[in-house]
Amino acid sequence: MPHASTTHYDTIVAGAGPAGVMAAMNAAKRGPVLLVDSSALPRDKSCGGMLNEYAQEFLASFADVPEDMIIEPVHVNFRYWDWDRGIKKPTQLRFLNVDRRKFDHWLVSLLPDSVEVVGSHAVQSFEQDTQGVTVTIKNGGAPEQLRCENLIGCDGARSAVRRTVGAGSIANYVTLQDFVRVEGELEPYFDCIYMRDIGDCYAYSYVVPKGDVAIVGSVYYPKTKRPYEKHDATLEMLRRAMPQLGDTVKREASVALSIRHAHDVAPGCGRVLLAGEAGGFMSPTSGEGISYAMNTGALAGMAVANNSGENALGAFSRSSDHVAANIRRKLRWLPFMESSWGKYLAGFVPTAIVSRVTRGL
């Protein structure tokens, strides 16, 4: 990808995922935007690739999702699975099943010409003053210094922008997922599986059918030791119970935020705004982040477009307060959901109630 074409932009956005694209799209209503991502583009993020109803509603307001990025089964419903007791509870929570790489590439294609997109570049550091932000971009060679009115950090769970602005760190879950061949047919469910024999480090596993493969993932709490060994053991248990799961085609590793406190949500500081995972905006109970990313990214971009300099942060804080309140509400559920007795009681709750509660998580 080319270097930045100029040294001054109205807005620089770090991260070309859903949050960054929406931030850039809306900030461009004010003036030129530079959107940079540390990965080569199109990016390839480890993700289940499912759009919940809120993400679908958001996208429907301005674009139709292309058919070529939708994967069979087109829709998958969330299903709670208590592995040890053999209890399965399907819910009405429905996801659109997409190819995440194609999805990210499509979002970038929607950007106006006033947004310059550069891959394989990362925000290394920045300094704020009364007139703007000086941003140092790293590209493998000599660093480039660029100037902007506002910087929006949308650079994910390990956000360098959040770290530099001093918004506080957040512990991360470890997520491992295998793409395995499907030999036969899987039911059209996003299975969320709870096992009790893996140990306290283990959060849950999941299975998502994706055409001729399935994603089989496991999530582990922060500071888990030897997660790869635990994932291998979990995968073999799942294969014994689900003979449709064949050989592994590809394995991915990633991290996700372990949101535990209301102060984990940080909209930014000064002329620097934080959206998506960089700002702590994601569900602490389900781990869903795409709808949060697009929503808060758009709000950050609109705040920059409609407010000058340091005024943008206040506007973004106010407009995103309902998202922060949603996260605070979910945090109250988290101790119950993660406890052994909470998972045990879920097996006795009528399926209709599980479905209704799940839609709110």
The enclosing domain of 181 has a CATH number of: 3.30.9.10
Give yes or no: residues 119 and 96 share one domain. no
Residue 1: the pLDDT is 38
Residue 229: the pLDDT is 92
Residue 361: the pLDDT is 64
Asked if residue 346 is part of any domain, the answer here is no
Asked if residue 217 is part of any domain, the answer here is yes
Asked if residue 197 is part of any domain, the answer here is yes
Residue 324: the pLDDT is 97
Give yes or no: residues 183 and 316 share one domain. no
Give yes or no: residues 301 and 201 share one domain. no
Sequence-distant (≥ 6) Cβ neighbours of residue 126 within 8 angstroms:
133, 134, 135, 136, 151, 161, 164, 272
pTM for the full model? Answer: 0.94
Give yes or no: residues 114 and 96 share one domain. no
Q: For the purposes of burial, counting CB atoms within 10 Å of the CB of 144, is it exposed (0-12), middle (13-18) or buried (19 or more)?
A: middle
Q: Which of 95, 323, 332 is nearest to 190 (CA)?
A: 95
Q: Are 91 and 79 in contact (CB under 8 A)?
A: yes
Give yes or no: residues 106 and 238 share one domain. no
pLDDT in tens, the chain (361 residues): 345 667 899 999 999 999 999 999 999 999 999 999 999 888 888 888 999 999 999 999 989 999 999 999 999 999 999 999 999 999 999 999 999 999 999 999 999 999 999 999 999 999 999 999 999 998 877 899 999 999 999 999 999 999 999 999 899 999 999 999 999 999 999 999 998 878 778 899 999 999 999 999 999 999 899 999 999 999 999 999 999 999 999 999 999 999 999 999 999 999 999 999 999 999 998 889 999 999 999 999 999 999 988 999 999 999 999 999 999 999 998 888 888 788 778 778 888 877 777 776 6
Asked if residue 200 is part of any domain, the answer here is yes
CA distance 9 to 32: 5
Give yes or no: residues 120 and 245 share one domain. no
Give yes or no: residues 222 and 88 share one domain. yes
Q: Which residue, of 212, 241, 257, is where some domain finishes?
A: 257
Q: What length is written for the chain? A: 361
Give yes or no: residues 74 and 181 share one domain. yes
Which residues lie across from 194 on neighbouring strands? 82
Q: Count how many domains the chain has.
A: 2
Asked if residue 355 is part of any domain, the answer here is no
Sign of torsion over alpha carbons 11, 22, 270, 124: negative
Asked if residue 287 is part of any domain, the answer here is yes
Give yes or no: residues 177 and 248 share one domain. yes
Residue 349: the pLDDT is 81
CA distance 303 to 291: 18
Q: Which residue, of 257, 275, 303, is where some domain finishes?
A: 257
Q: What is the CATH number of the domain that holds 288?
A: 3.50.50.60
Residue 4: the pLDDT is 62
Give yes or no: residues 275 and 317 share one domain. yes
Tell me which residue range forms the domain holding 280: 8-46+102-170+259-333
Residue 2: the pLDDT is 46
Asked if residue 339 is part of any domain, the answer here is no
Give yes or no: residues 158 and 286 share one domain. yes
Give yes or no: residues 199 and 77 share one domain. yes
Q: Which residue, of 215, 235, 257, is where some domain finishes?
A: 257
Asked if residue 350 is part of any domain, the answer here is no
